[in-house]
Amino acid sequence: MEQILRGIGLSEKEVKIYLALLDFGEALPRVIANRSGVKRSTAYFTLNEMVKRGIATKVKIGGYDHYQPINPQTLLNQQNKLFQDLESIVPALLARQGRFSIQPQITIHHGREGVIHVMEDSLSTDGEIFGWANIDEAATGYLKDYYPEYIKKKNKRKIWVRGIFTGGPEGRKFQERSIKELREVYTIPEDIFPFANEVNIYDDRIFIISHADKLGIIIQNENIAETQRSIFKLSFYAARLIDKEGREFYEKNLPKEKSLDIGI
């Protein structure tokens, strides 16, 4: 609970005080301070800030200030309203960002959660994802428990993936399940074409993940993404030629309308 409340913008002290207020329903500042473990002087200041922000209310009873928490459902409604307000201006924000699209937007994310954030970003696409990876390293390492969730979300959003994989048996498993999981992938020999990073191209973005370093980078620039997409298509065509077993599998199982036309 505390982590989620901090995630919507409450400070650590506000979280402690809000939970204490919920326990009491209504209380004097000194009682709240004792319950929350926040110093009394800090509790007074924090309570008044929470009143200003609409997280708590203040009433006088017997000449003394008593504080009450807002109903958790009201707190949820406030957050929903903020989300709706932000959603309504996203088109204008994107248009404003477009003025400077020549300057690549680069974000760097560290650790397991950072890498997951990078992967989740690719699920925002309305098109297809092109990518290459050492799938044994990517899907059987520290993200082993997350990959099935990612695939489930991708399938739910009907996002097709075109991929080039290195790795051992895991690559073939992905290939065998590929029609069901909306994927066309070809495997190439790791000893000749080693992939140290996982790369995905989608919309005007590219993500690069170094699983060994637990590091993810998102680059947003239309021209860079389009160039990388062309390079991928060239590599995809070559991978088809190399992976005879995969080519025969897709010739037999891939619906014609889902075949990637690369103009060759």
Which sequence spans correspond to the domains of the chain? 2-73, 105-255
For residue 102, pLDDT over 80 is answered with no
pLDDT the model gives residue 174? 80
Q: Could you tell me the pLDDT band of residue 264, with boundaries at 50, 70 and 90? A: low
For residue 5, what are its two tokens? Answer: 């409340």
Rounded CA-CA distance 115/102 in Å is: 26
Amino acid identity of residue 207, one-letter, is F
pLDDT at 100: 54
Q: What is the pLDDT of residue 166?
A: 87
Class of domain 105-255: alpha beta
Q: Under CATH, which number does the domain 2-73 receive? A: 1.10.10.10
Start-to-end CA distance of the chain, whole Å, equals 55
Q: What is the pLDDT of residue 99?
A: 59
215, 110 contact by CB (below 8 A): yes
Mean pLDDT throughout 98-120? Answer: 83
* Secondary element (H or E) of residue 7: helix 2-7
CB 21 within 8 A of CB 27: yes
Contact between residue 201 and residue 228 where contact means Cβ atoms under 8 Å apart: yes
Q: Is the dihedral of CA 208, 209, 213, 219 positive or negative?
A: positive
Higher pLDDT pick, 115 / 99: 115
